[in-house]
Structure 1
Amino acid sequence: MELSTISLLFLILPLISLLILAPSHSRRGGGSRAETYRKRRPPGPWGLPFIGSIHHLLTSQPQAALRELAKKHGPVMYLRLGQVDTVVVSSPEAAQEVLRANDINFASRPSLLAADIICYGNLDIAFSPYGDYRRALRKLCTLELLSARKVKQFAGIRDRETMSLVAEVQAAAAAAGGQPVNLGGLLISCTNSITGLATFGHFCSGARTKRFLSAMNEALKYSSGFCVSDLFPSMWFLDVVTGTRYQLRRAHRQLDQVFDEIIAEGEARARRRNAQGEDRDREGEHDLLSVLLWIRDEGDSELPITTINIKAIIVDMFMAGTETTSSAAEWVMSELIKNPDKMAKAQAEVRQAFDNKNPLDHESNVHHLHYLSMVIKETMRLYGLYPPIPLLLPRLCRETCDVGGFEVARGSRVIVNAWAMARSPEYWSDDSEEFNPERFEKSVLDYKGTQFEYLPFGSGRRMCPGSGFGLATLELILARLLYYFDWSLPAGMQPLELDMDMTVGSTARRSNQLHLVASPYGKVTAKS
């Protein structure tokens, strides 16, 4: 929740306090049942009337505030956030209970206003409630949309667009005349292009691409954080008064209009192919929109795909495949420029692997870049980039159960503080706050979500299904940036002076985009 919203709540507290619901213990029933719940409920910080424990989180770094609270109250902690019971899990043992032992019980999501509006009534991948639809959607992603085969089919797109990024960096560096270039902005443009082409193919180009991306940016802007009604369900009207609901609906309408145009073109293309007697099969359609339209029209899937479903799925594809990947690449470059010895080691590895190689072979060689892989793993440990927020997307407790010896009541929201676990000295030694890729030299930790002190893609039934797509893009972007350029800070700036402030919203991104000086490596150019 934004600070301005919090301030508004305090200003109108005298009015809305008249509408406060009955105390939570009275709603849970009387007598022994309520007493049992109070005895077994997880410990937590003190709360204020009406707002509960929100005041503990009035910071730009809520994940850090929750870590400090967990040090006092334990790894399974209760907070009353407005009118919502919330349990925060901050240890691998407790996370394992939530994400594995009780995975089905915590496999659903709470309904949040922004997701409900932008994602077509939570028909998307990330926020769809657990059930038959969600299971079928996960199967669709695994077998059709984000499979290893499908990720491989997009290799040509990754190759072209990352080489375009190299050319754009070269042009920007030449124009800057030794001054810094906005690397963060160029990374966003690159990942937008890769995701757009993978999702829409040639259906989305030129002015329409700009309109779609503009609408997506608006959707992301107003989807950041919580709306008032997310924490105060009975105060839903405040989102009307503040204009939040209107802004979300306007962003949704803009997005929907462009969707209709793109889908109409895809349908027209399919009709032309049918009229010409051309075969239409999903193997011949590489872009995700064409695959989804094929599945919708054939009707042979256990998931009844409609146009609305297609729109919701594609919204997730863009949210998970653009700003998340560009943010990850920006954090990696930030850490490397702060640590020149690590930068030199990563560049030496890439240049040894790529020198005298055809650029078309770069992606096939990326998998041999062991040190770059460690750099990426370490960056994800520090910043928790997939999903792109340090606190994994909230889960909803479907039935009352125990976690860590405490009772988690049905309807509670559960947050896993993956950021706290990934920086805990107990699991990562005394240098847990430091950037040290070498810690992964002999580590067996991977991205599969089976070791709960390291959850860059989450775990269980709700873990990120797009890890393969995201990693393939991220690895090639970084490898080519390190191969084609030497990087330095603006004149006079020391590594420790680099701004590393983080903004936690829809992504854990840099507060200010990264600007670095780019110098072409030797005689190598983007045409080599």
Structure 2
Amino acid sequence: MELSGATLIFLSLISLPILVSLLHRKWTPTSKKTQPPGPRSLPLIGSLLHLITSQPQVTLRDLAKKHGPVMHLRLGQVDTVVISSAAAAQEVLRDSALNFASRPSILASEIACYGNLDIAFAPYGAYWRTLRKICTVELLSARKVRQFAPIRDSETLSLVTNIRDGAGAGCREPVNLGRMLVSCTNNISAKATFGEGCEVELQEQFLAAIDVVLKYSGGLSVGDLFPSLRFVDAVTGLKRRLWRARRQLDAVFDKIIAKCEARREQKKKTTGEDDLLSVMLRIKDEGELEFPIRETNIKAIIVDLFTGGTETTSSAAEWIMSELMRNPEVMANAQTEVRRTFDNLSPQDHESHLEKLSYMRMVVKEGMRLHPVLPLLLPRVCQNTCDVGGFEVTKGSRIMVNAWAIARSPEYWHGDAEEFRPERFEDSTADYNGTQFEYLPFGSGRRMCPGSNFGLAALELILARLLYYFDWSLPGGIQPDELDMDMIVGSTARRKNQLHLVASPYNVPIDILS
């Protein structure tokens, strides 16, 4: 088969930087220190074939069993170290936290997060510390999370009503619980961020724009794996599609911010700053921070709030319900506790009694153990060459912590590590704070998720009300052990097929929202 002249030129352009990279590696003196072991790399692509799967965390866990808990992979032109033990995770996330506190720059975050001005991907430094302070003090503090209780109450009751209506009167029609959970968590985040006064149409436009951004932001691009070939992302059209999604998001942002600015003065006189956007606009106007916050920074932060607090919460709730359907005895125990606690309460008092649901909270912990929404956490980058687990990790290497593998390791969770058994947390000290490195659903250290309290408050109320108001069964005569648990890992680890269940109302008043 003959190749055209244009094709030969194109292939030459691609090959040249790769050849230069290979020659550089060949003639660069190697360190005398031991490099982490890993699978054999192929020319040009390295170990990329190992990750062409919908569940990379499983493949990496299996490779780590052979090569060890500190494992080196060459992904294209990028050196990557995968951490698969609690001890090694502690070294990276706590003992050498400053050295691993920054994120690598990837194409999707550069465009979708306004040049990495967000909390998740901003380089570690004074600017990131400013954002972190804004989050912990102003946006996602315990006080602020409590303030959003009426929104959680209203939207989770709407979820109950939608499930009841979707099930039909006595028809026992399956409902798409996965889709309903996404809608519920989207609405909670939208109202907390933009306020109750934001027009429904604008909220819907924003959520549609966010969906487009997420669609094109999942995974890594050619340029992320082959930095010398970044032009390929332009040739394939990926960069153009990301920018189109960003412009679509910008147009909706501008409308929402303009509406919010217009009502701010009146809002202060009546109800105060009850939404996150108003808080950020006030901080912008005060201009008292070391790094001035402008509208672009606000947009980047809001993108984080939605991508980090919406799909993650709905995915966690869907996985937990899936596990409960596969474990009827656990379902019965959790429902008995919730109904015993809620039976004599008004719906408005449900959230204040969640702390009494000790077994249900163990169910949530166990669900987050088996199904962390970010199984590989977010990647980090090594700032200076150092040792981890007795091996040398070179400057510029990307670090992935396989929290999914650690949370399923028999070394920490005994022989039943793969089983859904909430009772294991009865006497456990493991919590969500990232201090026990065998359990990292929200990460650990400086870069752990700042919105964990916001997400958990919604997750616990959603689950409690699903258990209280409905009895659940699988459609079509499916047996518990036949329920598919197929996973796909993109921006989060979610069910490949959304969960469909039959809901039988237990105690759903007709006027539940009145």
Q: Which interval holds the TM-score relative to the shorter structure?
A: over 0.9
Relative distance call for 1:492 and 1:438 in structure 2 (3 A) is same
Q: TM-score, normalised by structure 1?
A: 0.92
TM-score by length of 2: 0.95
The letter for the 2-side match of 1:145 is: L
Alpha-carbon separation, structure 2, partners of 1:293 and 1:212: 18
Q: Is the 8 A contact 1:173 1:518 kept in 2?
A: yes
CA distance in 1, matches of 2:448, 2:77: 28
User: Which residue number corresponds to residue 323 of structure 1?
Assistant: 311
The 8 Å contact of residues 17 and 50 in structure 1, kept in 2 or not, is answered as no
Shift of 1:57: 1.5
Match runs of 1:66-465 below 5 Å = 66-174=60-168, 177-270=171-264, 284-385=272-373, 389-465=374-450
Q: Distance in 2 between matches of 1:239 and 1:120?
A: 18
Q: Is the 8 A contact 1:203 1:262 kept in 2?
A: no
Deviation string 1:207-260 (CA, Å, 9 cap, x unpaired) is: 111111100000011111111111011111211121111111111011010000
1-side partners of 2:199 and 2:66: how far apart?
A: 53
2:441 counterpart of 1:474:
no
1-structure distance, mates of 2:440, 2:335: 27
State the shift of 1:21 in Å: 4.4
* Alignment check: 8 A CA contact 1:484 1:526 kept: no
Q: CA deviation at 1:14?
A: 8.0
Shift of 1:202: 3.2
Q: Distance in 1 between matches of 2:170 and 2:218?
A: 33
| CA distance 1:147–1:303, shift in 2 (3 Å) | farther
C-alpha spacing 1:432/1:262, structure 2 compared with 1 (3 Å) = same
Distance 1:329 1:67 in 2: 24
SS in 1 for 2:420: coil
The separation in 1 between residues aligned to 2:26 and 2:397, in whole angstroms, is 12
Residue of structure 1 equivalent to 2:5: none
Cα distance change on mapping 1:25 and 1:456 into 2, 3 Å: farther
Shift of 1:524: 4.8
Q: Kindly indicate whether residue 16 of structure 2 is the aligned counterpart of residue 22 of structure 1.
A: no
| Gap regions ≥5 residues in structure 2 | 1-9
8 A Cα contact 2:468 2:507, kept in partner: no
CA deviation after TM superposition for structure 1 residue 471, in Å: 0.3
Contact 2:166–2:173 (8 Å) recurs in 1? no
Aligned length: 504
Distance in 2 (CA, whole Å) between partners of 1:132 and 1:362 is 41
Percentage of matched positions with identical amino acids = 65
Residue deviations 1:95-153 (CA, integer Å, cap 9, x gap): 00000011011000000000000000000010000000001111111111000000000
Q: Structure 1: give runs of 5+ residues left out of the alignment.
A: 1-11
Alpha-carbon distance between aligned partners in 1 of 2:457 and 2:510, rounded to the nearest angstrom: 23
Cα distance in 2 for residues equivalent to 1:69 and 1:352: 46
Residues 89 and 417 in structure 1, CA contact (< 8 A), matched pair in contact too: yes
Q: Deviations over 1:45-93 (max 9, x none)?
A: 1011110010112221110111111111111111110000101111011
Amino acid at match of 1:295: I
Q: Residue 484 of structure 1 contacts residue 524 of structure 1 at CA under 8 Å; is this kept in 2?
A: no
User: How far off is 1:496 after superposition?
Assistant: 1.1
Question: Residue 526 of structure 1: CA displacement?
Answer: 6.0
Secondary structure of 1:181 counterpart: strand
SS at match of 1:334: helix
Q: Give the whole-Å Cα distance in 1 for the aligned partners of 2:507 and 2:383.
A: 59
Separation of aligned partners in 2, 1:176 and 1:169: 13
| Aligned match of 1:3 | none
Moved more, 204-213 or 411-420: 204-213
Q: Secondary structure at the match of 1:87?
A: strand
Match of 2:442, SS state, is: coil
CA separation of 1:298/1:35 partners in 2, compared to 1, >3 Å: closer, same or farther? closer
Specify whether residues 172 and 460 from structure 1 end up closer, same or farther in structure 2 by C-alpha distance, changes over 3 A only.
same
- Answer yes or no: is the 8 Å Cα contact 1:350–1:482 preserved in 2: yes
After superposition, give the CA deviation of every residue in 1:277-324 in whole Å (9 maximum; x if it has no partner): x659xx920100000001111112334111111000000001111111
CA spacing shift, 1:213–1:525, aligned 2, 3 Å? same
**Is 1:505 aligned to 2:490, yes or no?**
yes
Moved more, 99-108 or 295-304: 295-304
